[in-house]
Structure 1
Amino acid sequence: MGYPENVLAKDEHVVLHRHPHWGRLTVPALLLIVASTAAAFIAGYVNTLNWESNAKNTVHLVIAGIWLILVLWLAVWPFLNWWTTHFVITDRRVMYRHGLVTRQGIDIPLARINSVEFRHSLIDRMLRTGTLIIESAAQDPLEFEDIPNVERVHSLLYHEVFDTVGTEEAPS
């Protein structure tokens, strides 16, 4: 899925569009499995009890309601947050947008970027992810975590910044 064209300026082109690394979704996926297993186990246990069918149905509804709340809170919400987080590099700027209900974002013109760094631990390197650090002329360094293939993104961004130097977009 490409980044929406309506947020781009005229003649601006997306060079790279990424969501955070999929590893951010492993804990929510595990919690989904645990909650579903626990709900199934408890519902199965309730079926073995000698209760009236109305009581069993009520308990099953309560189990289903608790399961639904847990799944929405611990699995669906993190997935939607992941899905609505965008790290975009265009031929003019770096954009970062995140948030599901309340959207937040930042744009950094390529011509204003002073340095680009990356950091990743051993586990990050095994998962091919890391933190991208961008220092612009007017702000403290910004850190973008869980960027997939952070070394490649670093290199691509560095080349985009270098190609911008000397154009009319570069500061005089």
Structure 2
Amino acid sequence: MAYPDDLLVEDEQVVVHRHPHWKMLVVPVVVLLLVVGVASFLAAVVSAQSWALWAWLGLAVAGLALVGRFTVFPVLRWRTTHFVVTDRRVLVREGVLTRQGMDIPLRRISSVQIRQSLLERLLGAGTLVVEADSDESLEFDDVPGVRQVHAVLYNEVGQ
């Protein structure tokens, strides 16, 4: 999904656009598989009972609720979270029903750092730490290709 161009100012160009790393989707997919597996097993167990229709209905409602809460919502949240570097600023937008965001002009950035655990290094993800003119540092977790993003952002800040 391309970043909405209507949020950019005139002549502003997107340099990097990322969603959080796909590792955030591992737990939702595991939950989906577990819910489907357990619900299918339980549906087969109660199929010989006279009240099987009610049990199936209950399993369907419970399964849909679990999948909605622990799979659909996290996937939508992942899909609607954007980390964008333009030639003028760093933007972060997130939210499904309500949106929140932050913009940092490149001229206010004083340093850019990355942090990666061993697993994050293997997956190519990491945390990007941006320090602005204020003494506060901002951390962006689960940035895919964090080394490339760091290099691009460092290059953009240095111009």
Counterparts of residues 1-172 of structure 1 (less than 5 Å): 1-49=1-49, 51=50, 55-163=51-159
Q: CA RMSD in A?
A: 0.8
Q: In 1, distance between residues paired with 2:45 and 2:158?
A: 64
Q: In 2, distance between residues paired with 1:4 and 1:111?
A: 23
User: How many residue pairs end up in the alignment?
Assistant: 159
Q: Tell me which amino acid in the other structure corresponds to 2:153.
A: L
Structure 1 spans left out of the alignment, 5+ residues: 164-172
Q: In 2, distance between residues paired with 1:3 and 1:138?
A: 27
SS in structure 2 opposite 1:48?
Answer: coil
The alignment's TM-score, normalised by the length of structure 2, stands at 0.98
- Which piece of structure 1 moves more, 136-145 or 9-18? 136-145
Could you say which structure has the larger radius of gyration?
1
The alignment's TM-score, normalised by the length of structure 1, stands at 0.90
Structure 2 spans left out of the alignment, 5+ residues: none
Percent identity over paired residues: 48
SS in structure 2 opposite 1:102?
Answer: coil
Which runs of structure 1 show a deviation greater than 6 angstroms over 4 or more consecutive aligned residues? none
Q: In 1, distance between residues paired with 2:70 and 2:2?
A: 27
Q: In 1, distance between residues paired with 2:147 and 2:35?
A: 36
Q: In 2, distance between residues paired with 1:137 and 1:72?
A: 41
